[in-house]
Amino acid sequence: MARYPDSFLDNLRAGNEIVSVMSAYVNIKRTGRDYVCNCPFHSEKTPSCHIYTETQSFYCFGCGAGGDVITFIRLIERLEYVESVRFLAQRAGISMPEDDISDDGVNFRTRILEMNREAARYFRDMLLSPQGKVGLDYLLDRGLTPNTIRKYGLGYAPEGWHNLHYYLKKKGFTEDEMEAGALLTRNNNSYYDKFRNRVMFPIIDRRKNVIAFGGRALEKDAKAKYLNSDETPVFHKRENLFSLNFAKNTEESCFILCEGYMDVIALNQAGFDNAVATLGTAITPQQANLMKRYTSEAVISYDSDEAGQKATVKAINLLSEAGVLARVLHIPDAKDPDEFIKKFGADSFRRLLSKTETAIDFEFGKLKIGIDLDTAAGKTEFLKRAVNFLAQLRSDTERTVYISEAARLSGQQVSAITGLVADKQRQNRYYERRAQEKQLIRGETKRDPINPDSVRFPVEEKAERGIIAFLFHSPDRLPDVEKKLTAEDFPTEFNRRVYSFVRDCIKSGSSVDISSIGGEFTAEEVGRITGICKQGDMLPYSILRLDEYINVLLKHKEKSNRKSVTEMTDEEMLAQIEELKRKRAEKNGNK
Q: Is residue 243 very low, low, confident or very high in pLDDT (cuts 50, 70, 90)? A: very high
Higher local confidence (pLDDT), 361 or 164: 164
Domains of the chain: 6-92 (3.90.580.10), 105-235 (3.90.980.10), 244-351 (3.40.1360.10), 368-441 (no CATH), 452-565 (1.10.860.10)
Closest CA to 270 of 258, 287, 279, 282: 258
Whether 256 and 294 have beta carbons less than 8 Å apart is answered as no
DSSP letter at 272?
Answer: -
- Does the model's pTM come out above 0.75? no
Q: Which of 104-108, 501-505, 551-555 has the lowest mean pLDDT?
A: 104-108
Higher local confidence (pLDDT), 392 or 99: 392
User: What is the residue type of 195?
Assistant: F
CB count in 10 Å sphere of residue 476: 8
What is the predicted pLDDT for the residue at 444? 45
Closest CA to 139 of 160, 155, 122: 155
Beta bridge partners of 58: 51, 67
User: What is the distance between the alpha carbons of residues 263 and 281, in angstroms, rounded to a whole number?
Assistant: 15
What is the predicted pLDDT for the residue at 136? 95
What is the predicted pLDDT for the residue at 129? 94
**pLDDT at residue 537 tops 80:** no
**pLDDT at residue 103 tops 80:** no
**pLDDT at residue 564 tops 70:** no
User: What is the distance between the alpha carbons of residues 489 and 237, in angstroms, rounded to a whole number?
Assistant: 42
What is the predicted pLDDT for the residue at 443? 43
Residues 479-489 have a mean pLDDT of 90
User: What is the residue type of 56?
Assistant: Q
**pLDDT at residue 11 tops 50:** yes
Sign of CA dihedral 366, 371, 373, 378: negative
User: What is the distance between the alpha carbons of residues 358 and 416, in angstroms, rounded to a whole number?
Assistant: 25
What is the predicted pLDDT for the residue at 499? 92
- The H-assigned helical ranges of 259-321 are 261-269, 285-292, 306-321
Higher local confidence (pLDDT), 31 or 149: 149
Closest CA to 250 of 319, 200, 214, 297: 297
Higher local confidence (pLDDT), 211 or 539: 211
What is the predicted pLDDT for the residue at 368? 80
Per-chain mean pLDDT for the chain: 84
Whether 385 and 405 have beta carbons less than 8 Å apart is answered as no
Cβ contacts of 245-251, under 8 Å, gap ≥ 24: 245/204, 245/205, 245/206, 245/208, 246/273, 247/273, 247/274, 247/275, 247/276, 247/294, 248/206, 248/294, 249/273, 250/274
Residues 349-364 have a mean pLDDT of 79
**pLDDT at residue 398 tops 60:** yes
User: What is the residue type of 28?
Assistant: I
User: What is the distance between the alpha carbons of residues 250 and 416, in angstroms, rounded to a whole number?
Assistant: 46
Condensed to tens digits (0 to 9), the pLDDT of residues 435-479 reads 656 654 554 455 778 888 888 888 889 999 999 988 888 888 888
What is the predicted pLDDT for the residue at 204? 92
CB count in 10 Å sphere of residue 87: 18
What is the predicted pLDDT for the residue at 100? 46
